[in-house]
Amino acid sequence: MSIPLPLRFSREVSEARQTGAPLVALESTIITHGMPWPDNLTTARAVEDEVRASGAVPATIAVLDGVIHIGLDPDQLEKLAQGKDAAKLSRADIAACIARGGTGATTVAATMICANTARIPVFATGGIGGVHRGAETSFDISADLHELAQTPVTVVSAGPKAILDIPKTLEVLETLGVPVIAYGQNELPAFWSRKSGLQAPLRMDSPAEIAQAHRMRAALGLPGGQLVGNPVPRDAEIPLEQIAPLIDQALAEAEARNIGQKLVTPFLLSHILGLTGGRSLTTNIALVRNNARLAAKIAIELAGSGST
């Protein structure tokens, strides 16, 4: 027997659903575990504004007191950004959190699940989780990858986070049948850097092309989504040669401190923020905003008549 899902839409999202306006899902782990206060709040607001300015409606997703919220009002967003107790929810623990009335931020995987439930086909984030370096011994592979294989949402990112093992991440995505699309260039971007040194399996140059490929997967009956790698704007990029040694330093520190499981990615991001003197955060903010703009354009295409 199934029970009703506790689901609430913000007023802005409800209106968009009624009129058929294009919606863009946004995640909340980047707010609670990816950026420090108060930049997390100003960024979350700026990202929502980018979506609006591009002609779509933002739906920031989180679990608050046991209810999935699709779209947060300003007070809810501020409370989440300020609080320290929100869990980091993925596929494995989102149902348990809702069942016990808990509060949690959604990762890429959990946001895809909620977006799909709300029939929102496009989602903007910073960087997806993937295969961690040393995964051959730690087995640390983000649930984001398996989600992309089974949930039909197109995720706009700036590529896999450069803290990961990007070649292995690409291999797993290929095995799982996930289309990996570089936007406007041949090379897969690597989060803070426009280059990763690796060719992307697919390249697309317009939102319409990405939207049409999304529809074609549905037409084929394929279950998963698509991963778009949208390179960070040039003026905000940190070149790979510059960030690479700092990533190595942060990884060594994580190992020395025995950081594991869900704490790995938040630890590395905040440690790299310190090592770059804040520059990695400035870049992170620029790339999420850039992804929000592209996601809105894809959402507009997908909300159209269906013929591009």
Q: Which is nearer to Mn ion, 79 or 133 (CB)?
A: 133
Exactly one of 58, 121, 127, 224 binds ligand PSU (CB under 6 A); that residue is 127
By CB under 6 A, residue 147 contacts ligand PSU: no
Give the C-alpha distances (Å, rounded to integers) separating 27 from 57, 108, 207.
Answer: 14, 6, 21
Q: By the 8 A CB rule, do 46 and 285 touch?
A: yes
Exactly one of 39, 140, 144, 165 binds Mn ion (CB under 5 A); that residue is 140
195 noted as active-site residue? no
Minimum CB separation of residue 282 from ligand PSU in Å reads 12
Phi, psi at residue 27, to the nearest 5°?
A: -90, 170
Phi, psi at residue 157, to the nearest 5°?
A: -130, 175
Exactly one of 29, 154, 196, 283 binds ligand PSU (CB under 6 A); that residue is 29
By CB under 6 A, residue 108 contacts ligand PSU: yes
301 noted as active-site residue? no
By CB under 6 A, residue 34 contacts ligand PSU: yes
By CB under 6 A, residue 165 contacts ligand PSU: no
Q: Assign 3-class secondary structure to 249-274.
A: HHHHHHHHCCCCHHHHHHHHHHHHHH
d(CA 92, CA 151): 15
Minimum CB separation of residue 129 from ligand PSU in Å reads 3
Minimum CB separation of residue 177 from ligand PSU in Å reads 20
Give the C-alpha distances (Å, rounded to integers) separating 115 from 10, 119, 134, 153, 205.
Answer: 14, 6, 31, 8, 25
**Of 241, 291, 245, 232, residue with least CA distance to 272:** 245
- Say which residues have a Cβ less than 8 Å from residue 8's Cβ, sequence separation at least 6: 67, 68, 69, 70
Q: Which region among 30-38, 61-69, 72-80, 226-234 touches ligand PSU (by CB under 6 A)? A: 30-38
**Type and span of the H or E element at 227:** strand 226-229
Q: Which is nearer to ligand PSU, 54 or 157 (CB)?
A: 157
**Residue least distant from ligand PSU (Cβ):** 126
Q: Of the residues 88, 147, 161, 301, which is catalytic?
A: 161
Chain residues binding Mn ion by CB under 5 A are 140
Active site amino acids: 27, 161
Chain residues binding ligand PSU by CB under 6 A are 27, 29-30, 33-34, 107-108, 125-127, 129, 142, 144, 262, 265, 269, 284, 288
